[in-house]
């Protein structure tokens, strides 16, 4: 889902509680270049918004990294 | 739901009046949430002056306001010069990297620096080269 919204992104999703709804996403994307962290997080949040809205993800921690 | 215009105006005013402003759950003296507590701890280490607003009494209307102002609805939120810097995750990353000190315009405190190497002697003792009489 995140990789679709941010083509070329490397995405790693960790299930922090084992329940599948508290997730941590580590995202590395070329689109982050030159963006502030807050904007990087906004981009990832926007990508997963439908899943947050329908409640299938309850909590998402985001870590963003610029592309290697 | 649209944000309450009066509250939004009030928030914009407070943002103008406080260079560094933290929206948090509870107060700096008595945070009511672990994430808010972490951000308070980092600001205290930075030794910077900041304003703090307890969001709990007006949580839902305030979410609408920050949603409109900065597209962010969870707390804590740290603002510098009226711009949202981030929530606890972002602030923590920036704290560790030194970016937070930069944004706040303060020196990175010693304690926040990456853990130093364990005390190694400055001039390690070196044994003299082995010599073999030929």
Answer yes or no: is B114 within a domain: no
| Residue B123 in this model has a pLDDT that exceeds 80 | no
For tokens 């009226």, the residue is B82
Whether residue B85 is predicted with pLDDT greater than 80 in this model: the reply is yes
B54 in a domain, yes or no?
yes
Residues of A in Cβ contact (< 8 Å) with B77 = none
Percent of chain B's residues with pLDDT above 70: 81
The pLDDT of residue B118 is 47
Whether A63 contacts chain B with CB within 8 A: yes
Q: What is the CATH number of the domain that holds B31?
A: 3.40.30.10
**Would you say residue B111 lies in a domain?**
no
Residue B60 located in a structural domain: yes
One CATH from 3.90.230.10, 3.30.300.90, 3.30.70.3290, 1.25.60.10 for A2-66: 3.30.300.90
Considering only CA atoms, give the Rg of chain A.
11
ipTM of the complex: 0.70
Label residue A59 by pLDDT band (50, 70, 90): confident
A53 touches chain B (CB under 8 A): no
Rounded distance, CA A16 to CA A43, Å? 21
A10 to A62, B55, B90: CA distances (angstroms): 13, 35, 19
Give the mean pLDDT of A32-56: 90
Predicted TM-score of the model (pTM): 0.78
Q: What is the mean pLDDT of residues B15-42?
A: 96
Which of B14-18, B66-70, B118-122 is least confident? B118-122
B130: closest CA of chain A, how far (Å)? 46
Look at residue B134 and tell me if it is in a domain.
no
Mean pLDDT over each residue of chain B, to the nearest integer: 87
Of the residues A38, A52, A62, A66, the best mutation for testing chain B's interface (the one with the most B CB atoms within 10 Å of its CB) is A38
Closest approach of chain A CAs to the CA of B80, in angstroms?
13
**Mean pLDDT, chain A, integer:** 87
Count how many domains chain B has.
1
Closest CA to B95 of B27, B46, B56, B58: B46
Q: What pLDDT score does A23 carry?
A: 84
Q: Cα–Cα distance between A20 and A33 in angstroms, integer?
A: 30
Residue B25: what pLDDT? 97
Q: Using the beta-carbon criterion (under 8 Å), do B94 and A37 form an inter-chain contact?
A: yes
Report H helices in chain A: 2-5, 37-53
Confidence of residue B115 (pLDDT cuts 50, 70, 90): very low
**pLDDT tier, B78 (very low <50, low <70, confident <90, very high otherwise):** very high
What range does the domain containing B101 cover?
5-106
C-alpha B104/C-alpha B93 separation (Å) is: 14
Residue B131 pLDDT class (50, 70, 90 cuts): low
Mutate to test the interface with B, among A16, A36, A46, A59 (most CBs of B within 10 A): A36
Torsion angle of C-alpha atoms B14, B15, B17, B23, degrees rounded to 10: 70
What's the average model confidence in pLDDT over B90-112?
A: 89
């Amino acid at each position: 889902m995140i990789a679709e919204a941010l083509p070329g992104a490397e995405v790693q999703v960790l299930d922090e509680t084992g329940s599948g709804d508290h997730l941590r996403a580590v995202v590395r994307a070329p689109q982050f270049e030159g963006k502030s962290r807050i904007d990087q997080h906004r981009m990832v949040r926007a990508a997963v918004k439908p899943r947050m809205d329908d409640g299938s993800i309850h909590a998402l921690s985001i870590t963003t990294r610029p592309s290697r | 739901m649209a944000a309450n215009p009066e509250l939004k105006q009030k928030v914009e005013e407070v943002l103008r009046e406080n260079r560094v402003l933290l929206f948090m759950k509870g107060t700096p003296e008595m945070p009511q949430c672990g994430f808010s507590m972490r951000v308070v701890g980092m600001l205290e280490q930075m030794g910077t002056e900041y304003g703090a607003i307890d969001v709990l009494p007006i949580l839902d209307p305030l979410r609408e306001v920050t949603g409109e102002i900065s597209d962010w609805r969870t707390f804590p939120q740290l603002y510098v010069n009226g711009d949202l810097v981030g929530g606890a995750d972002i602030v923590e990353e920036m704290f560790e990297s030194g970016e937070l000190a930069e944004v706040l315009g303060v020196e990175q405190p010693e304690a926040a620096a990456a853990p130093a190497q364990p005390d190694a002697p400055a001039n390690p003792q070196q044994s003299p080269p082995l010599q073999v009489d030929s």
